[in-house]
């Protein structure tokens, strides 16, 4: 049975995580809990859990420091799932660098999302056991989850030196000795496919691409999220890469579309000569995803244009959010609308203005609610529904946190000043004009 350990400084959060699933029925054992990273580190050393689900922001020692400390003691286990109320680029990057398999927002945590994260972590726990088994006992592609984890760390600039990278890759039998490298990101064009099927679809397509594409040219294929997977391609001659790579990508797309019935578009990053800089190639490929279309299913990016469109992309995402406040606007769903990776969309928001995705959506919903309060006689629950909050109770809690008063108190203030142009009405009107 897979042993799971929970770390959170909030007692109710610990109780909630233990009660959100029927752990024994799913094949898990709750190994223990702790209120901070320092206490958890001592217990993890003795209890040896397979998976640790931890909050990031905690006193004494935070979740990232805990994971880094565990990694120094044991390069493989336990596997970490990170939980946080924050949506900031720095946390995402650090989570990737210490090899966390999932980064989940506590505000959007559900039994389904936690189960999916646990299943991925469990697959890594089971498969990484092969790494410690004698070489003769390993079979097939048993190290695939470990390889995917190491490549994710590479894409996140998680290796401090070439020696550290070479050591990790030696366990996988991989050498990076080509003159240059590039990253090709594949984006599934799956329309309104139910989210529960997306995971199966991208996993199946990535697995087949991992068989087809390397037969056409050397590369390593790894999964990324519910709509994307990517290939790291060594290049003998970067100047002549387009013709050969385009042909291989077209053939792979044709084969996968015939089998799965789902088209693929490819964005190819600019080449880099140092494998430790491969994240720059991947980032340029990310930036090309919104430019893909049926008329241009394969795009090769140039280094000079790697981040030209970042600010414009954020403006488009913000405009979409403002126009759809009555809908569910999770990071995953907005990212899917623009054919982005959720992590990439989170990075765009953090890099262009410093405001996180969740903070922006919440602020826009509250601003829209204030407009309705000032200009209509709608009831609080009606306003809550119109601006996309899950419940009037949650709306009231968030509104008071941001505005300092409850929605009911705010409405009273507005109505008491309706006879004149109040400062609050002016503020709302000015915001409307800016938008």
How many alpha carbons fall within 13 Å on the CB side of residue 200? 6
pLDDT exceeds cutoff 60 at 424: no
pLDDT exceeds cutoff 70 at 405: yes
**360 with 407, same domain?**
yes
**383 with 295, same domain?**
no
Do 86 and 356 meet the contact criterion of CB atoms below 8 Å apart?
yes
153 within domain boundaries:
no
- What is the pLDDT confidence band of residue 306, given thresholds at 50, 70 and 90? very low
Q: pLDDT tens-digit profile of 190-213? A: 766 665 567 678 888 988 999 999
**301 with 330, same domain?**
no
pLDDT exceeds cutoff 70 at 421: no
**278 with 404, same domain?**
no
- Looking at residue 180, its pLDDT comes to 94
**321 with 346, same domain?**
yes
Compute, in degrees rounded to 10, the torsion defined by CA atoms 260, 206, 226, 201. 30
30 within domain boundaries:
yes
157 within domain boundaries:
no
CATH number of domain containing 236: 3.30.70.270
Do 37 and 7 meet the contact criterion of CB atoms below 8 Å apart?
yes
Residue at a domain's end among 117, 137, 157: 137
Do 303 and 270 meet the contact criterion of CB atoms below 8 Å apart?
yes
**271 with 212, same domain?**
yes
- Looking at residue 397, its pLDDT comes to 87
Range of the domain at 260: 176-305
CATH number of domain containing 408: 1.10.10.60
Backbone angles phi, psi at 349, to 5 degrees: -65, -40
Identify the residue whose tokens are 């702790």.
Answer: 34
158 within domain boundaries:
no
pLDDT exceeds cutoff 70 at 14: yes
Range from 11-15, 28-32, 240-244, 386-390 that averages highest in pLDDT:
28-32
| Whole-Å CA distances, 90 to 347, 353, 419 | 9, 14, 47
**94 with 185, same domain?**
no
> Beta 51-55 vs 79-84: how paired, if at all?
parallel
Our CA angle for 410, 413, 415, nearest 5°, is 110
151 within domain boundaries:
no
Do 28 and 151 meet the contact criterion of CB atoms below 8 Å apart?
no
Higher pLDDT, 385 or 109: 385
DSSP 324: T
Higher pLDDT, 81 or 290: 81
pLDDT exceeds cutoff 80 at 52: yes
Classify 388 as helix, strand or coil: coil
Q: How many domains does the chain have?
A: 3
159 within domain boundaries:
no
Do 260 and 201 meet the contact criterion of CB atoms below 8 Å apart?
yes
CATH number of domain containing 122: 3.40.50.2300
Distance CA(184)–CA(230), nearest Å, equals 6
Residue at a domain's end among 137, 164, 186: 137
Distance CA(111)–CA(116), nearest Å, equals 9
Compute, in degrees rounded to 10, the torsion defined by CA atoms 216, 217, 222, 224. -90
Classify 172 as helix, strand or coil: coil
Quote the mean pLDDT of the chain.
80
- Looking at residue 390, its pLDDT comes to 78
Residue at a domain's end among 286, 305, 324: 305
**435 with 327, same domain?**
yes
| Whole-Å CA distances, 427 to 2, 325, 361, 402, 412 | 54, 20, 19, 15, 17
- Residue 201 has which token pair? 């679809």
162 within domain boundaries:
no
**272 with 332, same domain?**
no
**185 with 298, same domain?**
yes
Q: pLDDT tens-digit profile of 352-390? A: 666 788 888 888 899 899 888 877 888 899 999 899 887
User: pTM above 0.85?
Assistant: no
163 within domain boundaries:
no
**129 with 20, same domain?**
yes
> If you average pLDDT over residues 225-245, what whole number do you get?
86
**37 with 111, same domain?**
yes
Compute, in degrees rounded to 10, the torsion defined by CA atoms 214, 216, 218, 224. -50
Spatial CA neighbour of 2 closest among 153, 120, 103: 120
């Amino acid at each position: 049975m897979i042993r799971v350990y929970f770390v959170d400084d909030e007692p109710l959060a610990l109780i909630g995580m233990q009660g959100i699933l029927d752990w024994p029925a799913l094949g898990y054992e709750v190994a223990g809990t702790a209120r901070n990273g320092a206490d958890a580190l001592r217990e993890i050393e003795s209890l040896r859990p397979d998976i640790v689900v931890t909050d990031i922001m905690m006193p004494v020692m935070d979740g990232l420091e805990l994971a880094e400390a565990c990694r120094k003691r044991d390069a493989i286990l336990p596997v970490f799932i990170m939980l946080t109320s924050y949506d900031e680029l720095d946390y995402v990057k650090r989570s990737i660098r210490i090899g966390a398999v999932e980064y989940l927002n506590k505000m959007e945590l559900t039994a389904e999302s936690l189960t999916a994260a646990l299943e991925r972590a469990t697959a890594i726990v089971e498969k990484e056991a092969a790494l410690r088994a004698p070489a003769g006992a390993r079979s097939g592609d048993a190290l695939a989850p470990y390889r995917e984890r190491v490549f994710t760390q590479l894409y996140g600039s998680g290796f401090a030196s070439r020696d550290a990278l070479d050591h990790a890759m030696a366990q996988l039998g991989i050498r990076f000795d080509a003159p240059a490298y590039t990253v090709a990101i594949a984006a599934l064009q799956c329309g309104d496919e139910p989210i529960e099927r997306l995971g199966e679809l991208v996993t199946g397509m990535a697995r087949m691409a991992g068989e087809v594409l390397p037969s056409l040219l050397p590369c390593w294929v790894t999964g990324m999220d519910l709509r994307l997977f990517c290939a790291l391609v060594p290049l003998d001659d970067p100047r002549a890469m387009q013709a050969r790579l385009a042909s291989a990508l077209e053939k792979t797309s044709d084969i996968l579309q015939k089998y799965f019935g789902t088209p693929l578009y490819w964005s190819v990053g600019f080449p880099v000569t140092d494998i430790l800089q491969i994240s720059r190639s991947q980032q340029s490929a990310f930036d090309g995803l919104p430019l893909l279309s049926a008329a241009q299913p394969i795009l090769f990016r140039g280094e000079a244009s790697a981040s030209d469109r970042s600010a414009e992309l954020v403006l488009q995402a913000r405009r979409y959010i403002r126009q759809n406040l009555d809908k569910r606007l999770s990071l995953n769903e907005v990212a899917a609308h623009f054919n982005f990776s959720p992590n990439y969309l989170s990075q765009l928001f953090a890099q262009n203005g410093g405001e996180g995705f969740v903070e922006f959506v919440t602020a826009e919903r509250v601003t829209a609610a204030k407009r309705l309060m000032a200009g209509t006689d709608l009831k609080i629950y009606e306003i809550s529904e119109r601006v996309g909050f899950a419940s009037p109770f949650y709306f009231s809690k968030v509104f008071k946190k941001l505005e300092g008063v409850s929605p009911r108190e705010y409405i009273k203030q507005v109505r008491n000043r309706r006879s004149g142009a109040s400062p609050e009405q002016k503020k709302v009107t000015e915001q409307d004009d800016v938008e």
